[in-house]
Amino acid sequence: AGDVVRTDVLVVGAGPAGLTAAAFLAEYGVDAITVTKYPSTAPTPRAHITNQRTVEVLRDLGIEDRVREIAMPADLMGTNVWATSFAGVELARMMTWGEGLDRRSEYAAASPCDMCNAPQNVLEPVILAAARERKADIRFNTELIDIKQDDEGVRATLRRRDDGTEYTVEARYVIGADGGNSTVARVLDFAMEGEAGIGSAFTVWIEADLTRFAKHRPGALFWVSPPGTNVLWSPWTTIVPHTEWMALFLMHDLLPADTSDEAVAEIVRAGIGDPDVEFKIKHIGQWQVNHVVAERYRKGRVFLAGDAAHRHPPSNGLGSNTSIQDSYNLAWKLALVLRGDAGEELLDSYHDERKPVGRQVIDRAIKSLAQLQPLSETIGLAYGQTPEQGWAIIDELFAPGEAGAARRAKLLDAVQLVNYQLNAHGVELGQRYTSTAVADDGTPFPEYTRDPELHYHPTTHPGAHLPHVRLQHGTEYVSTLDLVGHGRFTVLTGVDGAAWTEAAAAVSRETGLTIEARTIGMRAEYDDVLGEWTRIREFDDDGCLLVRPDRHVAWRSRNSVDDPVETLRGVLASVLGTP
Ligand code: FDA
């Protein structure tokens, strides 16, 4: 029906995954069209925790500062409180998102970027602006209604929602970034693993000045459980400190599935805990709890990214983070294949690398929900209690005597478990890829020395993310991460690595592919003033790393080799799948 438009990549969806894909594809000079059925970016806050890896991705796009301007900074995210209500009794507290004194240096050492709290309704316009500045073609009010593919390409039928006209886009590749109800996944029959619809919840966006209850203990999350009500542990997210919130309520059997304004106002009032505080409900949204991941992320010429590929609860705050990181992984691969610099099989590595991450994320999110159980049980508030029963249980928790002391000790243990949700630095940063887009260096990954979910273990092993180290360049500090990325491959070598630098230039000339080379070491161009890189790099002064455009290590050599040009040429061909 209607006109036919041709493009190299059609991106379906303009949420975190689609917008990131649109921005990077435009940055890399790929001809692409991005469509979204809605008239605007997300109108409500939704996901908000923006982890260090994601901020690094946005830094590569040059918009870290803009994100920082619209986001709540890390130092306001840290305090996590469980209480009967904002005005009520505090029951437990922990420091989260790396803001505890025991974790702060670990987070700071791992990345040049701080975490931030950037609700989707303010983050998406920043990524959209970046995409448009790069001349991305983004079409709102445009719904994908059908999609077919064959060996030659993909045909998508799109409908303009303003006037109902339909047209066809013929694309060489499609990214289905169309969220948890993905049309792309459904029409093309992508199989899903796991369980869908395991629960249902609703979010309430609230305007309420709670400064007096929150300013001395600012955090991304505040959990309330008013005794004797149907609300058990509702997490409230700070959207604007301390005046806008997004509360999540579970649609539980005991809580009549009543999301009328009056019913919601009642539980919001209970959560605030002070009847004199005025509030306004800005929006109520429904939300399905799922535990699914796509069996395959690629089917022919079509890829799934973001919630289209993985759907899970918001625990660990990995929804939009993983979505943005999916697209960062895929965009450079599509660019190189379309340019003819890489073989088709490079695109298979997207599934091989990102599916395990998706699997980990959905399982972690579900496990994290279960790990709240001991805390909830120790505190003792439960559905079906009267207010008197609830308060008696809390009184005992903080009373002198053996019973209270035993419960308080248990409570401290139960809180520790929540680190797997709110301080899971290893889950946030520790992705290690195994695929054809990573070349084996003949060594195993180093063993984890601490809990791999809680702690990030930097390594330069092929497949790992390049570790961050501060280097001095002139009088400025720069991060190792800033020497790489920007859509190109980079060779990082040491003070005895001139042969690698020359080899990079030679292979670059030969292939037409940009390969930068940087020397890092004591008194080198990038000065390892503190010796931190030398300690962490796992190769010698005459060795090198080959780093991919997404900052993952493609390959490394501990030392020099007989023919560095031949070696580098071979490694690159194997990573890119070229003859
Ligand atoms: P996302 O769903 O953001 O975007 C999908 C895009 O596809 C939209 O632009 C849409 O218009 C478009 N689209 C869909 N079908 C289309 C079609 N047929 N044709 C054209 N376009 C189409 N996560 C979290 O970690 N913490 C949280 O607290 C929450 N809270 C939350 C609340 C609510 C109400 C929702 C809906 C979601 C959350 N999430 C969340 C999940 C989080 O929002 C989610 O992980 C990310 O938005 C995923 O980003 P995507 O870009 O993959 O999809």
Q: What fold is seen in the domain 4-70+114-193+293-367?
A: FAD/NAD(P)-binding domain (3.50.50)
> Which 3 state secondary structure label does DSSP give 93?
strand
What does DSSP say about strands 298-299 and 302-304: parallel, antiparallel, or unpaired?
antiparallel
Residues linked to residue 50 through DSSP beta bridges, in sequence order? 116
Calculate the alpha carbon distances from 93 to 219, 374, 412, 499 in Å. Answer: 11, 15, 9, 55
Indicate whether residue 203 lines ligand 1 (CB < 6 A): yes
Indicate whether residue 435 lines ligand 1 (CB < 6 A): no
Cis preceding-peptide flag for 252 (omega within 30 of 0): no
Q: Could you tell me which of 9, 574, 5 has the C-alpha nearest to residue 331?
A: 9
The dihedral through the CA atoms of 68, 70, 76, 81 has a sign that is: negative
Q: What fold is seen in the domain 465-576?
A: Glutaredoxin (3.40.30)
Q: What confidence score (pLDDT) does residue 528 get?
A: 98
> Which 3 state secondary structure label does DSSP give 1?
coil
ipTM associated with this complex: 0.97
Task: From the CA of 145, give the closest atom in ligand 1.
Answer: 18
Indicate whether residue 13 lines ligand 1 (CB < 6 A): yes
Confidence check: pLDDT of 363 > 80: yes
What is the pLDDT of the chain when averaged over all its residues? Answer: 96
Confidence check: pLDDT of 263 > 70: yes
**Do the domains 4-70+114-193+293-367 and 465-576 sit in the same CATH topology, yes or no?**
no
Q: Could you tell me which of 178, 147, 128 has the C-alpha nearest to residue 12?
A: 178
Of 320, 325, 357, 364, best ligand 1 pocket probe by most atoms within 8 Å of the beta carbon: 320
Indicate whether residue 38 lines ligand 1 (CB < 6 A): yes
Q: Angle at Cα 193 formed by Cα 192 and Cα 199, nearest 5°?
A: 95
What's the CA gap between 158 and 297, in Å, rounded?
22
The dihedral through the CA atoms of 490, 495, 500, 501 has a sign that is: positive
Confidence check: pLDDT of 255 > 60: no
Task: From the CA of 305, give the closest atom in ligand 1.
Answer: 52
- Å from CA of 548 to ligand 1 middle: 28
112-154 tens-digit pLDDT: 999 999 999 999 999 999 999 999 999 999 999 999 999 999 9
Of 20, 36, 174, best ligand 1 pocket probe by most atoms within 8 Å of the beta carbon: 36
Sequence ranges of the domains in the chain: 4-70+114-193+293-367, 373-417, 465-576
Confidence check: pLDDT of 256 > 70: no
Please, are residues 48 and 317 in contact by the beta-carbon 8 Å criterion?
yes
Indicate whether residue 12 lines ligand 1 (CB < 6 A): yes
Q: What confidence score (pLDDT) does residue 252 get?
A: 64
Note the maximum CA span of the chain: 80
pTM for this predicted structure: 0.97
